Structure 1
Amino acid sequence: MKIDTPIIPEDLTEKKFTDIFYEEDPEFEMCLVTDSQFENESIERLRLYQTVIKNCNFVNTDFSRIDLTDVRFENCDLSNANLGNASMNRVEFLNCKLLGSNLTESYIGNTKFGESILNMGMFGNSKLEKVIFDHSVLESADLFDCKLKKVEFLLCNLNGVSFEDTSLKGIDISSSNFDSLVVSIENLRGCKVSTSQAVQFASLLGLKIQR
C-alpha cells in the first residue's frame, strides 16, 4: 500500500521546542527541532506544519487537539503523552517511543509508525486511514471501536492488542505475530491472516485441527 509522505522543504529554521512559548500562536512551520527536553508540559491545540522533530523528549506532555501536517518525528520519546483528539495527515514516527500514549478520538491519515514502540497505546474511537505500522511493537495496545481503512501491520508485534468493536475487514495482519488478540469472530471477517494465524484463531474457537 502506498501512502502520501510528508512534504517538507529542505530549508528549515532551527528551533528549540521551548521556543513555542514565544510564538504568538502555538505553532511551528518549516522548522527543524532537535535535542529538546519538553516533558511534563502542556500545550493545547499545538500546530506543526512542514516540520522535522529529532531526538526530543515529550514524556507525559499534554498535546491534546494537536494538528500535524507534513511532520516527521525521529528518535523521539512521546511515552504517556496525551495526543487525544489529534488531527494527523502525512506524518511519520520513525524509531519513536509512544509507550502508553493517548491517541483516542483522533483522525490519523497517511501516517507511518516505523520501528516504533506503541505498547499500551490508546487509539479508542479513532479513525485510521492509510496508516502503516512497520516493524513496530503494539503489545497490549487498545484499538477499541476504531474505523480502520487501508491500514497495514507489517512485521509487527500485536500480542495482546484489543480490537474490540473494531472491524478488521480488509486489514492485513498476516506478517505480524501475536500469542493472543482481543477480537470478536464477526469483526475478523475479511481480515487477511497467515496459515499459522488461521490455526491460532481456529484453536481459540475450540476447533480441533487434524494434521
Structure 2
Amino acid sequence: MKIDLPKVAADFPPRNFYDLVNEEDPTLEMCSITHSVFENEVLHRVRLSNVVLKNCRFNHTDFGRTDFTDVCFENCDLSNVNLSKSSIHRVEFKNCKLVGANLTESSFGNVRFDNSLLNLAAFGNSKLEKVIFQDVSLKSTDFYDCKLKNVEFQLCNLDGANFEHTSLKGIDISSSTFDKLTVSIEDLNGCKVSTNQAVQFATLMGLIVKD
C-alpha cells in the first residue's frame, strides 16, 4: 500500500520547541527541531506543519487537540504523551518511542510508524486510514472501538493487543506475531491471517485442531 509521505525539506531553518510556550496560537511551520527536551509540559492545540523533529524528548507532555500535518519524528521519545483528540496527517514516526501514549479519539491519515515502540499505547475510539505499522512493537496496545481502513501491520508484535469492537475486515496481520489477542469472532471476519495464526485463533476459540 502506498501512502502520502510528509512534505518536508532537508534544509528547513532550525527552531526551538519552547518558542511555542508563550504564543497565543502555538504554531510551528517550515522548520527543523533537534535535541529539544519538552517534558512534563502542558500545551494544547499545537499546530505543526512541514516540521522535522530529530532526537527530541516529549515524555509525559500534554498535547491534547493537536494538529500535525507533514511532520517527521525521528529518534524521538513521546512516551506517556497525551495526543488525544488530535489530527495527525502525513506524519512519520521513525525509530520513536510512544510507550503508553494516549492517542484516543484522534484522526490518523497517511501515517507511518517505522521501527518504533508503541507498547501500552491507547488508540481507542480513533479513526485510522492509510496507516502503516512497520516493524513496530504493539504489545498490549489498545485499539478499542477504532475504525480501520487501509491499515497494515507488517512484521509487528501484537501480543496482548486489544481489538474489541474493532472490525479487522480487510486488515492483514499475517506477518505479525502474538501469543494472545483480544478480539471478538465477528470482528475477525475478513481478517487476513497466516496458517499458524488461524490455528492460534481456533485454539483461543476452544477448538481442538487435529492434523
Deviation at 1:10, TM superposition (A): 3.4
Gapped runs of 5+ residues in structure 1? none
Look up the equivalent residue of 1:188 and give its one-letter code.
Answer: L
Q: Partner residue of 1:130?
A: 130
Cα deviation 1:79-116 (Å, max 9, x = unaligned): 00000001011000000000000000000010000000
Q: Partner residue of 1:141?
A: 141
Between the aligned partners of 1:75 and 1:22, the Cα distance in structure 2 is: 26
Matches within 5 A, 1:100-139: 100-139=100-139
Cα deviation 1:118-175 (Å, max 9, x = unaligned): 0000000000000000000010000000000000000000000000000000000000
Deviation at 1:9, TM superposition (A): 2.7
Structure 2 residue 63 is the aligned partner of structure 1 residue 67: no
Look up the equivalent residue of 1:29 and give its one-letter code.
Answer: E
Asked whether the 8 Å contact 2:160–2:180 carries over to 1, the reply is: yes
Cα deviation 1:13-40 (Å, max 9, x = unaligned): 2012112225452010011000011000
Q: Partner residue of 1:173?
A: 173
Structure 2 residue 68 is the aligned partner of structure 1 residue 55: no
Look up the equivalent residue of 1:57 and give its one-letter code.
Answer: R
Q: Partner residue of 2:96?
A: 96
Matches within 5 A, 1:154-173: 154-173=154-173
Determine what percentage of the aligned residue pairs are the same residue.
62
TM-score, normalised with respect to structure 2: 0.98
TM-score, normalised with respect to structure 1: 0.98
Provide the alpha-carbon RMSD of the alignment.
0.9
Asked whether the 8 Å contact 2:92–2:113 carries over to 1, the reply is: yes
Between the aligned partners of 1:47 and 1:142, the Cα distance in structure 2 is: 26
Q: Partner residue of 1:5?
A: 5
- Runs (4+) off by over 3 Å: none
Between the aligned partners of 2:113 and 2:75, the Cα distance in structure 1 is: 12
Between the aligned partners of 2:25 and 2:65, the Cα distance in structure 1 is: 14
Q: Partner residue of 1:187?
A: 187
